[in-house]
Amino acid sequence: MNTKNISNTVVNLFLIPLLIISICGSISLLPLLIQLVPNKVIIIFVILLMLAYLGHFWATVKYTFIKVLNKIKKILVIVFIFATLIWQTLLIRALSGEFGWDPRFFVEYIYRISSNISDDKIYFSLYPNNFMLLVIEKVFQVIFNIKTPDGLILGLNILNVVIIDISALLLFLSIKKLFNRRTAWFTTFLYWILYMIWPFAVIPYSDNWSILVGTLFLFIYSKNQNFKNLFLNFCFGIITAFALLMKPSTVISIIAIVIIKTIFCLQQNQKIKIKRIIEIAVSLGLGFIILYSPVKSYQQHNHIANIESSRKMPLTHFIAMGMSGGGGYNASDVTKNIEIRSPRKRNNYNIKLIRERLSKMGFGGYLKFLVQKQINNTADGSFGWAAEGNYLYAPFGRHLNRIEKHIRTLFMNKDVNQGYLIADANMGGYKFFPQIIWVVALVFMLFATIGDSGETLQFLKYTIVGGFVFLLLFEGGRSRYLIQFLPYLFTLSGLGIDKFISKYKNEKVSIS
C-alpha cells in the first residue's frame, strides 16, 4: 500500500477545491478595485508592464546584460534591503497612531488607564491566550522605560519591523535548505511585496508574532527534519510553547508534521525505536515545559491583569460565532457569553446555538455558507487592512516630510463624522495591486499542489488545509486571520513559480 500517494490524494481532495474557491473569490474583487485606481497610476502601470516585457525579451537575447546583473546582484540586494528599511521607517513615522479593538487593551492595561479598562476589566479573563503578548509588551515598556502610551506604541511598531524583517531572513534560509535557492527567492519576494512593504507594522498585535513563529518552525525543521539533534528539538519545544501561548492556532503546523512523519514512516516500513521516540519526546517536552509552565504560573499570580479562569470563552463560543453572519465577530454572541457566569451553562448555551444555526441552514445551506466563508477568509489580498472599525486612526506625527505626507494620504483618509484621520480600507485606490499579486500567488499555489507528493510539500499542504479548516470552523470572516499561515502559503506559491519556470525551461522538477 502506497500510503504516501494516498495521503497526497486525501489532502489534495480538500486543498484543491479550497484554493479554487479562494482564487474565484479573489478574482471577483478585481473589477471593483480597478475602478478605484487613480487614472495616472493605471497609465504608469501599463508602461511598467511593457518595460518589464521588453526587459525580459532583451535579457533573453543579450547574455551580457545577465552577466552584468550577476556581478552586481549582491550590491543590488544590499540597496534593496536598505531601501526597504527606509520605507518601513517612513511608514511608522507617517502612520503610527491610535487603534481600537484588542490591541488597544494591552496599552491600557500596561499604563492602568482605569477610565478605559473599567468596562473591560475582564478582557484577559475572557481571552487568556493573549496574556503572553501582554507580558512581552510590559517587559518591553519596562526595559526601555517608556513613559507614555504613544511612546510605547511607536516602540512596539519598531519592534514589529524587526520581527517582520527577521522573519523574511528566516523564511529565505528555511526554503533554501528545504527546497532550493530559486524557490527561496520567489517565496521571500512574495512575502516582501504582499506584507513587508505594506503598513502591517503599525498595529502591535499577535499577527506579526505569528509570522515569526511560522518562520521559526520552518527554520528549525529545515535544520532538523528527522529530529536527531536533541538541542534543536529542545528549541523546537520552546517555540511550540511560545506559539501555543501567543496564538494557539499556529501549532497546526506541528500537527501536520506529526501526520506526515507517521505516514512516511509507514511508507518506508521503518521500525519504530522506543528509545528514539523517548529521546525526541523528552527533548521537545523539556523545551516546551521550560517556557510554558512559568508563563502559565505567572498568568495566575500576576500584577498586570486579574484573570478569572472561570470567565474564559469556550471553544464552542468561537464555533458558534463562526457560523453567524459572514463567519466573523458577533457582538451579541460575545455579550451573551459574558453575561452567563457559569462555564457549564455558557458552554451549553453555545452548543445550543450551534445546533440552532446548523438546523436553520441545513446541510446544503451550511456548505454554501462555508464556500462564502472561505472567500471571506482568503480572498482579500490586503489581509484585512482597515476591515475593522477603529482599526487605526489619529496618527501621532505632526512634522512629516513630503514622502511621509504622501504615505499618510495613501493609507488614511479623514472621517467626516469623527473629524480625524482613519485607515483607508481601499489604500487610496492602490489596493488593486496587492490584490492582483495575491490572485497570481493563489494560482501558483494550485499549480504547486497538482502532481507532486514529496514529504515537505505534503507538510505544507496539511498545514494550509489545517489553517483553512480551522478558519472555516471557528471565528474568521476576514483575511487578517490568514496572516498566521502566510509563511506556508507563500512557500507553496514560491514552489509553484519555480515548478512553472522549470517546466517552461524543460528543467527537471524535484519537489521534496
Cα 423 from chain centre: 20
448: closest CA among 505, 504, 493, 387?
493
- The CA distance from 270 to 389, in Å, is 54
Question: Is 298 inside any structural domain?
Answer: yes
Q: Is 378 strand, coil or helix?
A: helix
Q: List Cβ neighbours of 45 (8 Å cut-off, separation of 6 or more).
A: 37, 433
Residue by residue, what is the 3-state secondary structure of 347-390? HHHHHHHHHHHHHHHHHHHHHHHHHHHHHHHHCCCCCCCCCCCC
Handedness of CA 95, 98, 100, 103 (dihedral sign): positive
**168 with 193: CB under 8 angstroms?**
no
Distance in angstroms (rounded) separating the CA atoms of residues 165 and 169? 7
Domain presence at residue 337: no
Backbone angles phi, psi at 422, to 5 degrees: -130, 160
Q: Is residue 480 part of a domain?
A: yes
Look at residue 332 and tell me if it is in a domain: no
Q: Report CA Rg, the chain.
A: 24
> 193: which DSSP letter?
I
**Measured distance CA(482)–CA(205) in Å, rounded:** 14
Number of domains in the chain: 1
What does each C-alpha distance from 346 to 77, 243, 310, 332, 437 come to in angstroms? 55, 27, 10, 14, 43
Cell of 455: 514529504
Q: Which residues face 422 on adjacent strands?
A: 393, 413
Query: How high is the pLDDT of residue 470?
Result: 96
Q: CA–CA distance from 45 to each of 54, 192, 427, 492 (Å)?
A: 14, 19, 16, 27
pLDDT at residue 58 in the model = 58
Q: What is the DSSP letter of 313?
A: P
pLDDT of residue 281: 92
Domain that holds residue 68: 3-307+379-501
Q: What are phi and psi of 47, to 5 degrees?
A: -60, -45
Alpha helices in 197-273 (DSSP H): 206-223, 230-246, 252-267
DSSP states of 21-66: HHHHHHHHHHHHHHHHS-HHHHHHHHHHHHHHHHHHHHHHH-HHHH
Quote the pLDDT of residue 275.
81
Q: Report if residue 487 sits inside a domain.
A: yes
Query: Torsion angle, CA of 8/9/13/16, rounded to 10 degrees?
Result: 60
Structure confidence by residue, pLDDT tens digits, 326-339: 888 888 999 999 99
End-to-end C-alpha distance for the chain, whole angstroms? 20
C-alpha cell at 432: 488593486
The answer to whether position 28 is within a domain reads: yes
Q: Is residue 404 part of a domain?
A: yes
Residue pair 473/319 in contact (Cβ under 8 Å)? The answer is: yes
With a cut of 70, list the residues of the chain below it in pLDDT: 1, 52, 55-70, 113-121, 269-272, 507-512
d(CA 291, CA 509): 41
Which residue type, as a one-letter code, is found at position 338? I
Cell of 395: 496618527
The DSSP line for 81-150 is HHHHHHHHHHHHHHH-EE--HHHHHHHHHHTT-HHHHSTTTTHHHH-GGGHHHHHHHHHHHHHTT--SHH
What is the Cβ-side half-sphere exposure of residue 73, based on CA atoms within 13 angstroms?
Answer: 8
Query: CA 259, CA 280: separation in Å to the nearest integer?
Result: 16
- The predicted model scores a pTM of 0.93
| Cα(366)–Cα(371) distance, integer angstroms | 9
Predicted pLDDT of residue 117 = 47
Calpha distance 193→493 (Å, rounded): 13
Residue 414, SS3? strand
Kindly state whether residue 326 falls inside one of the protein's structural domains. Answer: no
Task: Read off the pLDDT of residues 446-491 as tens digits, 9 standing for 90 and up.
Answer: 999 987 778 999 999 999 999 999 999 999 888 999 999 999 999 9
Sign of CA dihedral 171, 176, 181, 186: negative
pLDDT, position 222 = 96
Backbone phi and psi for residue 136, each to the nearest 5 degrees, phi listed first: -60, -45
Task: Give me the torsion for CA of 22, 27, 31, 35, rounded to 10°.
Answer: 80
CA distance 172 to 183: 9
